[in-house]
Amino acid sequence: MNRKNSAMKAIELLTTRQSNPNLTTPAPSNDDLHQIIAAGMRVPDHGAIKPWHFTLVKEQGLTKLGEIFVKARIAENADQLKIDKAKKMPFRAPLIIIISTQYQQHEKVPQKEQLITAGCCVHAMQMAATALGYGAMWRTGDLCENDLVKNGLNIELNQDIAGFLYIGTKSKELPLKANKPFEHFISYL
């Protein structure tokens, strides 16, 4: 493949990527999962401090994660509908990668930058999953901030969850969304 064809494929991946919440089995194979994780490990990382951690959730782990979510909802006195939804949330995909921070003390790399780097891991892994033909959905929300969820996942309370990356085989193809115009988001100095 020549360089221009390679660039065209990369640009097409970047400009046509979209989340797909319609995910089913099978999950990525071990080889594909290793490629997805390798993509996360290649993100920009000022100081080469690797301020991230990946928690893989699949099979029985999905049930355990549902139980963690339920405990969090019960503790906040959620209604039964919200509790039932929390129990089912992990089963939206056969694999979830939870990306959390692993903040490092560094005089030139503030925590904010380290959180952005962890977010780049989520994005890179979502792009890798898409490139490999899987569907993926990056989810956040209030459970990312929940101390009971962090405890259940063995994430220290002073760390952040950058996202839950749901990955699986697409059970439904979605129509391609139109590209968003960018002219109003640009200024010149």
Question: CATH number of the domain that 148 lies in?
Answer: 3.40.109.10
Residue 189 covered by a domain? no
Counting the structural domains of the chain, the total is: 1
User: What does the alpha-carbon distance between residue 137 and residue 160 come to, in Å, rounded to a whole number?
Assistant: 19
Q: Which residue segment(s) compose the domain that 132 sits in?
A: 21-171
Residue 3 has pLDDT above 90, yes or no: no
Residue 2 covered by a domain? no
Residue 43 covered by a domain? yes
Residue 29 covered by a domain? yes
Residue 142 covered by a domain? yes
Residue 87 covered by a domain? yes
Mean pLDDT across 8-28: 93
Return the SS3 of 5.
helix
Residue 13 covered by a domain? no
Residue 113 covered by a domain? yes
pLDDT in tens, 164-174: 999 999 999 99
pLDDT in tens, 77-127: 999 999 999 999 999 999 999 999 999 999 999 999 999 999 999 999 999
pLDDT in tens, 55-85: 999 999 999 999 999 999 999 999 999 999 9
pLDDT score recorded for residue 20: 95
Dihedral of CA atoms 126, 132, 135, 140 in degrees, nearest 10, equals -10
